[in-house]
Amino acid sequence: MDHAKVVDIPKTENSVRDETIPSQLVPQLAAFFDEYGLARPDNWLFPAVKDKSRPIHPNSLRGWYETARASAGRPDLRFHDLRHTGLTWLAEEGATVRELMDAAGHADVQTAMRYQHSVDTRRQTLAEKMGARLLSDDTPEIVLARIKALDEKIATLEKQRGEEKKKLAALLG
C-alpha cells in the first residue's frame, strides 16, 4: 500500500466488501448528509474537511480519536479498539466465524477467532439451551429454577430501566 495516497488498492482481496449499515444509524447519517451537503450517491461517506471530493485521511480520524480519548481520560484505549469492539459485539450476538471473517475482511479463521470471547451472559444462554434439550421442562424444580432466573433478569432490567430513565431526564434537562 502506498502510504502517501489516501485511496489505494486494498491490502487483500478480502478487504473489498460491502458494509451493512444498521437501520438505527440511517436517520443520523441522513441528517449528517443534509447538514454537510453530502446527499449525493457519489459522495464520500466521510469526506475530507477541506475538500469534500476526497475521502477523509485516516490520520484525521486518529487525531480526533486521540483528542476524544484524552478528554475522556482513557489513555488505555487504542484506535484499533473500535474495530475490535465492533467485531466482538458481532460475536456476542452470535455471528459465526465466517460472518466475522466477512465483516472484518479476514482471510483466515485464526484471525477471526480473536473476537470469539467467552461472555458470561452468552455462556448462560447456551447452558439454558443445552438444558432445554436434555431435560423436559415440566417438573416443578425446573419450572421454579426458570422462574428464579427470570426474577433475576427482571430485577436487572428494572435497574437498567431506572438508569435509562435517569439518563433521559438528564438529556431532557
- Going from N- to C-terminal start, the domains of the chain cover 120-172
| pLDDT in the model for residue 136 | 64
- Cβ neighbourhood burial of 157 (10 Å; 0-12, 13-18, 19+): exposed
Mean pLDDT of the region 28-45: 84
Span 87-144, pLDDT tens digits: 888 888 888 888 888 888 888 888 877 776 666 677 777 777 777 777 666 778 878 8
Q: Where are the alpha helices (DSSP H) in the chain?
A: 26-36, 58-71, 80-92, 97-104, 109-112, 120-134, 140-172
**Cell output for 97:** 466465524
Cβ 16 vs Cβ 10: under 8 Å: yes
